[in-house]
A = this chain, B = another copy of it.
Amino acid sequence: MPVLLNLRTVSPFMEGVLQRTLKPRLALRHLSPRGSSSSPPTASRPPVGPRSQKLHTGGDGPEPSPSAAPDRLPFSRITRGDLHFFRKTLPGRVVTEPDLLESSNVDWLKSVRGSSEVMLRPRTTEEVSQILKYCNGRNLAVNPQGGNTGLVGGSVPVYDEVILSTALMNKILAFDGVSGVLTCQAGCVLENLSQYLEGRGYIMPLDLGAKGSCHIGGNVATNAGGLRLLRYGSLHGNVLGLEAVLADGRVLECLATLRKDNTGYDLKQLFIGSEGTLGVITAVSLCPGKPKSVNVVLLGCETFEQLLKTFQLCRCMLGEILSAYEFLDGECMKLLNTHLKLPNPIADCPFYVVMETSGSNQTHDGEKLHSFLEEALASSLVTDGTVATEESKMKALWSMRERVPEALTHEGVTYKYDVSLPVEQIYQLVSAMREHLGGRARSVVGYGHVGDGNLHLNVTAPADDPALLAAIEPFVFEWTASRQGSISAEHGLGLKKRNYIYYSKSSQAVALMAQVKAMLDPKGILNPYKTLPDRLK
């Protein structure tokens, strides 16, 4: 147990982690640091940004919001010596210019802003290993960063963490034309991988709106769900192998390309969805899909109940070729029209479905789809619809679903929630929220992955509105938890939702997560302030 025992002599922070596990309700942030070998205790600096302070402190009340950043932990501060080491290790790939750091210090939603003064851009696993070994020794906190497309403040520094960017780790390492297995570095952009595979008759088993920017390493680190999960399942099943560098620089090579391997514990699973807090993923191997015929359909329904009945019909009549069943409500469609000038290609309806089939036989798929549409129209489940089989038209229909988050950014401030629920209940939350908020919000909209029981609930306001936020939370979490739902279906917990974990996980489970964290990252340098709650119950 060398790592764990080491902890006890290394830093006062580690005492915090230990106590966090040992003494329920004793928060890290409430510990009094008793000196550090590398840096003195420092005053706290909450994250600042266009609206982060208000969003994160939850208004003017005496109690900070659970999503607010905790105090800075007593990590070391970057010194000239550190920069010297980094520049020697990564010549020409150490960024310290404030203007170049700007976009890496703030998240896509501009809701969390860190103040990191250095970003490292390694190209190899070995370089990542050297960096982490050094940072661990120096007690420097590290924020692993992929495409920085996360929505829960998990991908940006909270304070002055060293940003470890995977942007230059963008090599495809191997592709097996027979099995289709792809092995690549963590910094490959999802869309580039998709294009690479499509040219070879395969497709990535995941697809999401941020594909043009997100990195595959970040996708795996956050267990991204996206649009194809209905058909291909989660990354826990699709990732065949993974390489990660642990906090102390050890390289864990589990980069198998086999579909089956039962030799010992499946350690790679630990890193899938751990948001960079247990190790830095440096490479992955994946098992892609191979459809030959694709159709995309936009449908309109009068009620959500009809939309669900249509889903049942769809599963029954399309079966194995159904690859996506997504929805957006009429409010979302209006936002697409208004802000992005995307016209609605069918008659206006309260609910829309974007569905996709992927199969191996165009004739059969067409016949199945035709029979399904006939039945859906005949039984009045669907009021209007359009089918696309041509690439550009399919993309246009997909954009009706994929660009909703972008349209929402034009509404002012958006409070975003990502829950999963039994499928028959997902829209009830939108209705309940509308009723609960009355006229206080600009809009309350719902869209998401019906096939996976995953709702994206978004509440917008013209500007930061602490009273509105206080009306939304914890209402949304309590509503979800009371129905055994998950308060984060696919976005993760990051900074913003870490303290809400108990709505979906038991105290035993969270305590065990803290043990896992302490085992793999005893000094807590990896993506601090994220995923795990400030206090254990």
Q: Could you list which residues of chain A lie within 8 angstroms of chain B, going by C-beta atoms?
A: 1-4, 7, 17-18, 21-22, 176, 178-179, 222-223, 225, 229, 233-234, 236-238, 250-254, 256-267, 269-270, 272-274, 278, 290-292, 312, 315-321, 358-361, 364, 367-368, 420-424, 449, 452-454, 484-493, 497, 500-501, 503-506, 508-510, 512-513, 515-516, 518-520, 531-532
Contact = CB atoms under 8 A, between A and B. Distances in A.
8 contacts: A179-B422, A237-B237, A256-B486, A258-B420, A262-B489, A262-B492, A264-B501, A264-B513
7 residue pairs, one from A and one from B, having the closest CB atoms? A237-B237, A319-B360, A269-B269, A261-B486, A260-B489, A263-B504, A233-B237
B259 A508 contact: no
B360 A318 contact: yes
Contact of A493 (B253, B257, B262, B513): B262
Contacts of A234: 237, 259-260
A264 B493 contact: yes
Contacts of A179: 422-423, 453
A7 B519 CA distance: 15
B274 A265 contact: yes
Nearest to A2: B22
Nearest to A491: B262
A422 B178 contact: yes
When all copies of this chain in the complex are counted, the total is: 2
Nearest to A232: B233
Contact of A361 (B252, B258, B319, B454): B319
A314 to B, nearest CB: 10
B515 A3 contact: yes
Contacts of A509: 252-254, 264, 267
A320 B262 contact: no
Select the residue from A252, A265, A274, A520 with max chain B CB neighbours within 10 A: A265
Contacts of A321: 320, 360
Contacts of A520: 512
Contacts of A251: 508
A236 B269 contact: yes
Contact of A263 (B176, B256, B265, B488): B488
Contacts of A252: 506, 508-509, 512
A242 to B, nearest CB: 11
B253 A453 contact: no
Given A1-B518, A260-B453, A513-B267, A253 B320 contact: no
Nearest to A261: B486
Contacts of A484: 256-258
A516 B237 CA distance: 21
A491 to B, nearest CB: 7
Nearest to A17: B1
A504 B255 CA distance: 11
B262 A266 contact: no
Given A260-B420, A264-B504, A265-B278, 17 more contacts: A1-B4, A233-B238, A236-B236, A236-B269, A252-B508, A252-B512, A254-B505, A258-B421, A259-B453, A263-B504, A264-B531, A267-B516, A290-B315, A319-B359, A320-B360, A361-B368, A516-B519
